[in-house]
Amino acid sequence: MVNRTDIEATCADIVREFSPLQVILFGSYAYGTPTEDSDVDLLVVMDISEEQARNQAVAIRQSIPRRFGMDLIVRTPAEIAFRISHNDWFIREIMERGQVIYESADARVGAKSRGRLQCDAV
């Protein structure tokens, strides 16, 4: 299984290289149910165009060290707000149950109080 230190190190790499608004851990590692076969699921929120967001996920995967299996998605604040307003259960679950492991001072995505990890970045 993946340890928390490796997740935080990956978060720090993403923050250093790409300056996201938020990095949110979701899925089994966030919900306390990982197994030996679990990968790490991350939502990276970035203030870029939706078109750029699709390519940014690939760029992030190619740029950071591979410490473990990871599913990574990149979305914009506007896309998250739109999907929540249209009852997208997947994004809603991430925003309600996920753990914010990094949040910039100017993050524009509203978040309820959630358990937060510390990502030593910047």
Residue 2 confidence (pLDDT) = 94
Which pTM value belongs to this model?
0.85
Please indicate, yes or no, if residue 66 is contained in any of the structural domains.
yes
- Give a yes or no: residue 120 inside a domain: no
Domain that holds residue 35: 4-104
- Tally of structural domains, the chain: 1
Residue 107 has pLDDT above 70, yes or no: no
**Residue 112 CB burial class (10 angstroms; 0-12, 13-18, ≥19):** exposed
Yes or no: say if 1 and 36 are a contact pair by the CB < 8 Å rule: yes
pLDDT at 53: 85
- Is residue 115 in some structural domain? no
In a domain, 109, yes or no: no
Kindly state whether residue 29 falls inside one of the protein's structural domains.
yes
Locus of tokens 């750029």:
52
Got the DSSP string for 34-95?
A: --TTPPEEEEEE-SS-HHHHHHHHHHHHHHS---S-EEEEEE-HHHHHHHHHTT-HHHHHHH
- Whichever domain contains 76, its CATH number is 3.30.460.10
Rounded to the nearest 10 degrees, what angle do helices 50-63 and 4-18 cross at? 120
Residue 114 binned pLDDT confidence (cut-offs 50, 70, 90): very low
Determine, yes or no, domain membership for 22.
yes
pLDDT value at residue 120? 55
State the average pLDDT for the chain: 88
Would 113 be classed as within a structural domain? no
pLDDT digits (tens, 9 = 90+) for 13-57: 999 999 999 999 999 999 999 999 999 999 999 999 888 888 999
**Band of residue 95 on the pLDDT scale cut at 50, 70, 90:** very high
Q: Is 12 domain-assigned?
A: yes
